[in-house]
């Protein structure tokens, strides 16, 4: 069956460091992969999308890589800030209609 795995344990880092979150998937050939941020009690908010023919995508302090051979995406936040503390979700499109399958998310805690 299709599976998406993200680090289940919370990631604790110090302010100013780079946070790296992992998303692994099996039994998929996704056209693209998305990353969302979710704060407690709120809906997910879109951050970045990367297509299967793209190796890397950047947006301000965020960087996403996509390795279709390893079936893995890495999500980096450079110069992290306490305001970056949230749960980060990885999602893949199953159908082409943006019917997303989400990972369980990784909680990031950035301490001052």
Min dist CB 47 to another protein, Å, is 9
The contact mask relative to another protein for 52-81 (x = CB under 8 A, - = no) is ------------------------------
Q: Is 10 among the residues that bind another protein (CB under 8 A)? A: no
List the one residue from 103, 106, 107, 110 that touches another protein (CB under 8 A).
103
List the one residue from 10, 45, 70, 79 that touches another protein (CB under 8 A).
45
106's CB contacts (< 8 A; 6+ apart) are 6, 7, 8, 9, 10, 11, 21, 22, 87, 88
Q: Is 89 among the residues that bind another protein (CB under 8 A)? A: yes
- Considering CB under 8 A, how many residues would be counted as binding another protein? 21
User: Greatest CA separation found in the chain?
Assistant: 42
Rounded Cα–Cα distance for residues 52 and 54 (Å): 6
Q: Which residue has the tokens 């704060």?
A: 39
Helix and strand numbers (H, E) in the chain are 0, 11
> Which residues lie near another protein (CB under 8 A)?
4, 32, 34, 41-46, 49, 89, 91, 97-105
């Amino acid at each position: 069956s299709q599976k998406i795995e993200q680090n289940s344990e919370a990631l604790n880092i110090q302010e100013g460091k780079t946070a790296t979150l992992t998303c692994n998937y099996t039994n998929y050939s996704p056209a693209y992969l998305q990353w969302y941020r979710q704060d407690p009690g709120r809906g997910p908010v879109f951050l970045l999308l990367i297509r299967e023919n793209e190796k890397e995508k950047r947006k301000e302090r965020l960087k996403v890589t996509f390795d279709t051979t390893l079936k893995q995406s890495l999500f980096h936040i450079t110069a992290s800030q306490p305001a970056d503390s949230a749960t980060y979700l990885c999602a893949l499109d199953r159908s082409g209609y943006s019917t997303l399958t989400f990972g369980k998310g990784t909680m990031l805690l950035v301490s001052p």
